[in-house]
Amino acid sequence: MKDELRDLPLVKAPDSIWTSIEASLDTSIKPQPRTWRPAWAWAIAAVAVAVLGAAAWYSLTRPPKPAWDVVRVDGKLTEHGKIQVGEWLQTDSSSHARITLNNPSVGDIGTIDVAPNTRVRMVASRPGEQRLRLARGEISASVSAPPRLFFVDTPASTAVDLGCAYTMKADEDGNGLLRVTLGWVSLEWAGREALVPAGASCRTHPKIGPGTPYFDDASQALQDALGEFDFSSGGESAVDTVLAEARVRDTLTLWHLLSRVEPAGRLRVYNRIVDLVPLPKGVSADRALQLDPETLKLWREELAWKW
C-alpha cells in the first residue's frame, strides 16, 4: 500500500493561480493617490523645511523610526498618513481607520481595521516583533505573518497571533472580548493562557486576565456560567452548569477548565470530557489529573480535531 501511495501522481497547478497572486500583489503595492493640500499647508511646509534643515544633522545620524501606513476615513474624507512607534491613533464616533502592518524592513504582514471610538498606540515595529496597544474600542486584525510576531496588548491581556484573523474589544474599564474568525490566537497574561480557535471567543478582565474560551454557538447558559466562574466567583454551581451544557465541541472550554477549577472539582471536569470524547491513546488519566503539561498538550492536540 505504501508503494501505491508513493505512486500517486503530482497534479500540475493551473497557471491561473499565479495570475491571481500577481494581481493581489499588484493591488497591495499600488501607489496611494495623492491628496490635495490647501495653500496654508504649503506655507507651513516651507517653515517646516527650514526647521528640518536645522535638525538635519541629528536626523541623518539616526535611523528612521519604523512606521505603519494609516488610512483614516472621516465621513467622505480620506486621509493618508503614518503612525510611528510611541504615537497614538484615535478615532471618534464618525471615523474609522485602517493600519497596514508594513515598513521597509518587514514588508506587508497584514491589516488592522480600527473601529469608531477607538484609541490605539504603536508600541514596537522591528523584524521579530510588531506590537500594538489597544487602550479602548475595537480592532479587527488580519495577519499573515509567521506565528508569534504580532501582538496586541490590552489592559487585561496580550493577544498573540498564531496566524489568524480576529476582533478584539476593550471597554473603558479595561474589560475585553476576543473573537477569532480564522486560525488561532493565544491570550496571555501573567502566566495565565487561553488558546482560542476560529469560531470561539474569550473574555478578559483587568487583574484577572483571560477567562475560559468558549465557542460562539455554545448555549447562553454555558456562556453565562463561565462569566460567573471566571470573574464573579461563581464556583461549583457555575461549573455544574458548564458541565451539564457542554457538547463535544465544548471540550475546548472543559480542557481549559481542568486546570482552573479547584483540585476537588477536577475529576468531575475530567469525567465529563471523557464522557464526550473517549480518552485518546497515549493520554494517561493520572497524568492528566496531575496537570502534567506534556499530557495536557497531547490531549489538547487530539481534542482539537473536534473543535
What is the binding site for another protein (CB under 8 A)? 1-2, 4-14, 16-18, 20-21, 24-25, 28, 105-110, 127-128, 144-147, 149, 163, 182-183, 198-199, 281-282, 294, 297-298, 301-302, 305
We find the least distance from the C-beta atom of residue 19 to another protein, in angstroms, to be 10
We find the least distance from the C-beta atom of residue 269 to another protein, in angstroms, to be 23
Q: Which residue, 10 or 77, has its beta carbon nearer to another protein?
A: 10
| N-term to C-term CA, the chain | 31
Please say whether the beta carbons of 248 and 306 come within 8 A.
yes
We find the least distance from the C-beta atom of residue 2 to another protein, in angstroms, to be 8
Q: Which residue, 65 or 148, has its beta carbon nearer to another protein?
A: 148
Cell of 96: 474609522
CA distance 125 to 103: 8
Q: Which residue, 79 or 129, has its beta carbon nearer to another protein?
A: 129
We find the least distance from the C-beta atom of residue 150 to another protein, in angstroms, to be 9
Q: Which residue, 132 or 238, has its beta carbon nearer to another protein?
A: 132
CA distances from 152 to 47, 91, 99, 213, 303 (A): 37, 18, 13, 18, 27
CA distance 254 to 247: 10
* Measured CA angle at 186 (ends 141, 93), to 5 deg: 35
Q: Which residue, 74 or 108, has its beta carbon nearer to another protein?
A: 108
We find the least distance from the C-beta atom of residue 122 to another protein, in angstroms, to be 17
CA distance 113 to 90: 12
